[in-house]
Amino acid sequence: MDITKDIRPLTEFKRETSRFVARLKETGRPSVLTVNGKPSVVVMDAAAWQDMQDQIDYAQTVAGIRKGLDQAHAGEGIEAAVLDEDALNTAD
């Protein structure tokens, strides 16, 4: 992906918002908007943003599962049956 195509001045975005929004929806790629030549904000289509959030959630879930499996293989943690017994004993 050539991100240099997606870097534009904020003033251009303000002048041509409709064109920008159409391009964001069409490409699904975010645009970096600059102020005084420096990156300032990123704008993107809502559907593309949601897809990105879903990918982040998935990656975090996979990382958590891997961590739990690694801990289990290392003999760390407590078995669920022990936790259930403890919960029942403290409820009385």
pLDDT the model gives residue 18: 96
Tens place of pLDDT per residue across the chain (92 aa): 666 779 999 999 999 999 999 999 999 999 999 999 999 999 999 999 999 999 999 999 999 999 999 999 999 877 777 776 666 676 55
DSSP assigned state of 77: S
Quick one: pLDDT at residue 85? 67
Q: Are 81 and 72 in contact (CB under 8 A)?
A: no
pTM as predicted: 0.68
Q: Enumerate residues 6+ apart whose C-beta is below 8 A from 76.
A: none
> What pLDDT is attached to residue 5?
78
What is the Cα–Cα distance from 82 to 77, expressed in whole angstroms?
Answer: 11
Measuring CA to CA, which residue among 42, 47, 50, 49 is closest to residue 13?
Answer: 42
